[in-house]
Structure formats: structure tokens, C-alpha cells
Amino acid sequence: MSAALEARLGQPWKKPPFISSPGLRWTLLIGGVIYLILAIYSIDVNWARVYRGLDRGWQFVIAFANPDFTSRAGEIKDGMIESAVMAFASTVVGIGISIPIGLGAARNISILPVYLVCRSVIALSRALNEIVVAILLVAIFGFGPLAGFLTLSFATIGFLSKLLAEEIEDMDRIQAEAVRSTGASWLQRYTYGIHPQVVPRLIGLSIYRLDINFRESAVLGIVGAGGIGATLNTAFDRYEFDTAAAILLVIIVTVMALEYLSGIIRARVQ
């Protein structure tokens, strides 16, 4: 008995497979490979068009070695200012709306009807892609930064509200209950029991969302929602790759500066 136990204990441990049945495991694997092959073959690729596009793609790549910041400096400046204003304004408005929605979407501090309504708003905001919303708002309000501002504000609400609600649900309840036990009102309970715990996270997320909104403003401009994206789209349409490279470099530098700044602010807040 001891020899059998020793022999069993001496066997190396092997992680059990995710699917215990070998037949089912191999069937799923082979089926996945067949599906992948069929999916690739179902894509209609015009290889002649791809070959002709390689030359323009290479011209765009080498344009980064000699970007043109001067020919359309005025347009680049106006587009960057428009994107910055649009991103900052949408972030501020989105934060202002997200705070009450996030509070209502936290199940541990809100009643069920309010919770369901706020969660529905968050689900709607997260279900619609920014491009889809931007196309719809451009059709309603016309070309320009107003459509981009509304789109980014709408996206910010879904992003911040969800994360704020989860932060409130995961907070330390002892502090909030201690404030509540003193007979404090709901507003006092939030001010002294909830706010101090979630505000550092809220500030970090807000700065991160500002970074996202600036990057998204470059994409929304392609569909006519204003910002530097419109200037970038015009440069591509005219095959002005040196100008397009300059615009992309400006966007990259700006995003990196925002990332560095957000790291400093988050460190100070923490």
C-alpha cells in the first residue's frame, strides 16, 4: 500500500484539460481551424489593388522622415485647438452628468427604480459606438464640432458612470455606515462617507477620459464631426502624406504629454 502511494505521489502533476472529453476537444479544435480557413477564403481581397496601394503606403511611411508642418500650419493649429476644446468641454460635461448617474447606478446606495434607470442609461451609452453616434448627430446638427462635442459627452457618460458605480459598490462600507449611524442625511453620508473614498479614482478616470476624448476627436473628424480629424482626412484625400504625417506626429506628442500629465496628477491625488 505504501509503495503504491509512493509511486502515485511521485508522479508529476499535470494541469487538467479545460475540456475533459478528448473527442469533444479535438472536434472543437478541428472545427475552429476549418471555420478559420473558410472565413479567410470568404474575404474578397483584390490583390492587384493591394499591390497598387503598396506604393502609396510606402510614400506615407517615408513622409514621417520629412513631415510638413508649415504648408497647412494654420489649418493644423485650428484643428488642434478645435479638438482640444471639444475634448475638454465634452469631458467636463460628461463628468457633471456621470456623477449623479454613477451614484444612481450603485446598487448599495440607491433604490431599485433609480438603479434600473441609471443602468439603462449606461447600457445605452456603452452599446452605441462613437462613430455611429457621430454619424447620427452629424445628420441632425450638420458638420462641425457640435456633433463631435455631443458624441464625446455621450460616450463619457457611459464610461465614467459605469466605473464610478463599480467603485462605489466596492468601497469600504464601514466608513459610510459609521457616518450613517450618526443620523446623517443621504447628502452628508455621501460627502463624508463615500466621496473621500472615490474621488481619487474619479480624478484619475476623468483625466484618462480626457485623453481618450482627444484621441477620439481625431477619428470623429473623419465623419465630419469637427476637430483635427477633418484636417487629417483632407490631407489623405489630397495625398498630402507629408502633411498627414505632421498631423499624426502632433497628435502623438499631445497624447503622450497628456499621459505624462495624468500620471503626475494621479500620483499627487493618491
* Fold (topology level) of 70-269: MetI-like fold (1.10.3720)
Confidence label for 138 from pLDDT (cuts 50, 70 and 90): confident
In contact, 75 and 232? CB cutoff 8 Å = no
| 105 phi and psi angles, rounded to 5 deg | -85, -5
Who contacts 167 (Cβ-Cβ below 8 Å, separation ≥6)?
197, 198, 201, 202
Q: What is the pLDDT of residue 30?
A: 92
Q: Which run of H or E residues covers position 76?
A: helix 73-104
Domain ranges in the chain are 70-269
Q: What is the mean pLDDT of residues 173-190?
A: 70
| Widest pairwise Cα distance in the chain | 87
Contact, 147 vs 169, CB < 8 A?
A: no
Task: At 265, list the grid cell.
Answer: 496628477
The rounded distance, in Å, linking the Cα atoms of 68 and 213 is 26
Mean pLDDT of 191-211: 78
DSSP assignment letter at 46? -
- pLDDT, one tens digit per residue, over 154-167 is 999 988 898 888 88
DSSP-derived 3-state class of residue 81: helix
- Asked whether the predicted pLDDT for residue 34 surpasses 90, the reply is yes
Q: Quick one: pLDDT band at residue 10, thresholds 50, 70, 90?
A: low
Helix axes 241-269, 195-220, angle to 10 degrees: 180
Chain centre to alpha carbon of residue 178: 36
Q: Around 14, how many Cα atoms within 13 Å sit in the side-chain half-sphere?
A: 6
Q: What is the pLDDT of residue 192?
A: 67
| pLDDT tens digits, 212-248 | 888 888 788 778 777 788 888 888 878 788 888 888 8
Contact 118, 104 (CB under 8 A): yes
Buried b (16+ CB within 10 A) or exposed e, 38-66: eeeeeeeeeeeeeeeeeeeeeebeebeee
pLDDT at 4 over 70: no
The single-letter code of the amino acid at 87 is A
Instruction: State the cell numbers at 64.
Output: 514621417
Alpha-carbon gap, residue 17 to 15, rounded angstroms: 6
Share of the chain above pLDDT 90, in %: 5
Q: How far apart are CA 59 and CA 41, in angstroms?
A: 30
* DSSP letters spanning 189-211: HIIIIIHHHHHHHHHHHHHHHHH
Helices 73-104 and 112-127: angle between axes, nearest 10 degrees: 150
Say whether pLDDT at 206 is over 90: no
State the pTM of this model.
0.72
